[in-house]
Structure 1
């Protein structure tokens, strides 16, 4: 909540790190924030939206952080807070929209009913998205999806990380097959340290459990997906940084009518020129047998043109 003493400090530190890595939209998990809300950071300019439990909790909670400029330009919509594990917003593109979904899945050892509930909730969100719209799922899925590119063609690339697949991994792969999604972390050939995202505290083995997932049809739009071990975000997970080509809708600025310096009419010279011009233009327009609306339009055009030619504009 905005009145928490710790939130501004944490969000300010994170915003500086996001700006350092030139991030426009960030998905955050395990925020521990209650309810839902918004917080603006001024330096640098980022806006946080979050969705959490109604009561304080030691886990759960998701948030999306966005460059404030994107909101101001109308490129980013207001978020939809689904639960303490899922929230989304829309990116307004030139010809379509892309749903950005931040999610946090139950751990692999948690009760199957919790996992079922999470995936049903995520499926419900995906079902509301038109087929013509893009999808970006970003988050901690607590899933090891393995390397079986042959079995999961179009879903997994040839550059996975974990040898084995766990229960959460199977659930995620089945969801991707159902919704025609692809796991982008596995499509880029790079060192293991740039694939793995989390180190098991007991075994000290690294795993890939945080993902960027998009539609099959938009796979070519993803130019990079890389784990960043140097990012300081106060978490035991590595940041996953992805570059995705989108085409935001351009909002053209509306041209404003010129504002004239009416005070200049107090000067005899300018007032005389304006009066003379109005008389000249008025005599050029015949107002006989015209409607009230036409008379008003002609008079408005006369005064506007006379002002444009004789009265200086306000600076």
Structure 2
């Protein structure tokens, strides 16, 4: 399994803040990228104080059960993660294109997983978990496909996040090509002046 945190800004800092097996890759954006998220101190006439935002990504291997979802929210909160990209949540909700759920003070945002035809077991699903500041800055969420989700956050510049879950390398070539075509469309649709983070499980192998 490979998890990618791809950022377009050259000053981006990569900082591992979580133990192995918990949250694999963490990306901390420079403070000036998200200065609209902070508020001026009470009684202050000056501009808001910039704050650092931590962006991370994690293949959850299901958070359908409440204890697992609660544990994830608790861990994300304890490591002060603002935006957590999620793959394989396996929560099926076909009647809701985007579902918003509050968990332990964090906000879970998901597009629906799907069911494997032979066994009807839940598979895949992408989403993100954000803290309250990120939720306030959230401009919108779009389900590009069942494997790709995009979100946009207010800031200077605007922060765009793409969460994706690639087909396995045993998948049919047509399915893999369709995924990367959709991913390319999603990336190229982001304005060039936005700060872009691509958070995904690309199911790669390192030999």
TM-score per shorter chain, which class? 0.5 to 0.7
Alignment partner, residue 88 of structure 1: 150
Aligned mates of 1:51, 1:89 — CA distance in 2: 12
Per-residue CA distance 1:281-308 (angstroms, 9 max, x = gap) = xxxxxxxxxxxxxxxxxxxxxxxxxxxx
In 2 relative to 1, CA 114–78 (structure 1 residues): closer, same or farther, beyond 3 Å?
same
Tell me, yes or no, if the aligned pair for 1:78 and 1:89 is still in contact at 8 Å. yes
Alignment partner, residue 65 of structure 1: 129
The structure whose residues are more often helix, as a share, is: 1
Per-residue CA distance 1:218-248 (angstroms, 9 max, x = gap) = xxxxxxxxxxxxxxxxxxxxxxxxxxxxxxx
Alignment partner, residue 16 of structure 2: none
Quick one: which of 87, 99, 104 aligns to 1:37? 99
Q: Give the drift of 1:111.
A: 1.0
Quick one: which of 13, 17, 31 aligns to 2:75? 17
Per-residue CA distance 1:30-59 (angstroms, 9 max, x = gap) = 111123311012x3x100010124656432
1:129 pairs with 2:190: yes
Tell me, yes or no, if the aligned pair for 1:51 and 1:81 is still in contact at 8 Å. yes
Aligned mates of 2:112, 2:181 — CA distance in 1: 18
SS of 1:110's equivalent in the other structure is: coil
Q: Give the drift of 1:12.
A: 1.4
| Structure whose alpha-carbon radius of gyration is higher | 1
Alignment partner, residue 206 of structure 1: none
Aligned mates of 2:79, 2:193 — CA distance in 1: 31
Alignment partner, residue 51 of structure 1: 111
**Structure 2 regions of 5+ residues with no counterpart?**
1-63
Q: Give the drift of 1:127.
A: 2.1
Q: Give the drift of 1:138.
A: 0.7
Tell me, yes or no, if the aligned pair for 2:152 and 2:158 is still in contact at 8 Å. yes
Tell me, yes or no, if the aligned pair for 2:85 and 2:199 is still in contact at 8 Å. yes
TM-score by structure 1 length?
Answer: 0.40
The structure whose residues are more often strand, as a share, is: 2
Alignment partner, residue 120 of structure 1: 181
Q: For the aligned residues, what is the CA RMSD?
A: 2.1
SS of 1:82's equivalent in the other structure is: strand
Q: Give the drift of 1:99.
A: 1.1
RCO comparison, higher one (Cα < 8 Å, 6+): 2
Q: Give the drift of 1:140.
A: 0.4
TM-score by structure 2 length?
Answer: 0.60
Tell me, yes or no, if the aligned pair for 1:52 and 1:85 is still in contact at 8 Å. no
SS of 2:138's equivalent in the other structure is: coil
Tell me, yes or no, if the aligned pair for 2:160 and 2:196 is still in contact at 8 Å. yes
The number of equivalent residue pairs is 137
